[in-house]
């Protein structure tokens, strides 16, 4: 598998995940979702990082779902829908904002209504 658009490889991503360094980790969901080599792999990484304790990593993972809706044209609804809906109620505005942006992208590209379920 070749490098991502920004020069990262799948091995680089796996190494960053293994190291867990926040300065690197927060870029992983963006790298894997903007030009995914494998949509299922990229989605699994975003799912994993959406539960991360750091709000920046978590927020970027949510943003990654929006990118994947556009770049892949699909997401696993049974997995991603509850993550987005929970994130729309996250205590941190950064996470809620990225969840809202992802919900908008997912609605546009996949037709899911996520925000209406909160009303």
In this structure, is residue 7 part of a structural domain?
A: no
Question: Do residues 106 and 69 make contact, with C-beta atoms less than 8 angstroms apart?
Answer: yes
The pLDDT value recorded for residue 9 is 84
Residue of 87 and 2 predicted with greater confidence: 87
**Which residues fall within 8 angstroms of residue 55, CB to CB, at 6 or more apart?**
90, 92, 94, 95
In this structure, is residue 43 part of a structural domain?
A: yes
- For residue 117, the 8-state DSSP code is G
What is the domain range of residue 107? 28-118
Question: Do residues 72 and 45 make contact, with C-beta atoms less than 8 angstroms apart?
Answer: no
Question: Do residues 91 and 57 make contact, with C-beta atoms less than 8 angstroms apart?
Answer: no
Total domains in the fold of the chain: 1
> What digits encode the pLDDT tens for the residues 48-70?
999 999 999 999 999 999 999 99
Whole-prediction pTM: 0.90
**Which residues fall within 8 angstroms of residue 22, CB to CB, at 6 or more apart?**
54, 56, 57
In this structure, is residue 76 part of a structural domain?
A: yes
In this structure, is residue 23 part of a structural domain?
A: no
């Amino acid at each position: 598998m070749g490098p991502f658009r920004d020069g990262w490889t799948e091995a680089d991503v796996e190494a960053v995940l293994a190291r867990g360094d926040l300065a690197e980790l927060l870029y992983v969901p963006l790298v894997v979702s903007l030009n995914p080599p494998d949509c299922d792999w990229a989605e699994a990484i975003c799912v994993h990082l959406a539960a991360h304790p750091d709000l920046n990593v978590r927020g970027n993972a949510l943003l990654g779902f929006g990118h994947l809706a556009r770049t892949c044209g699909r997401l696993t609804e049974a997995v991603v829908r509850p993550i987005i809906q929970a994130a729309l109620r996250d205590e941190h505005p950064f996470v809620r904002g990225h969840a809202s942006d992802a919900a908008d992208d997912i609605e546009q590209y996949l037709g899911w209504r996520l925000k209406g379920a909160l009303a």
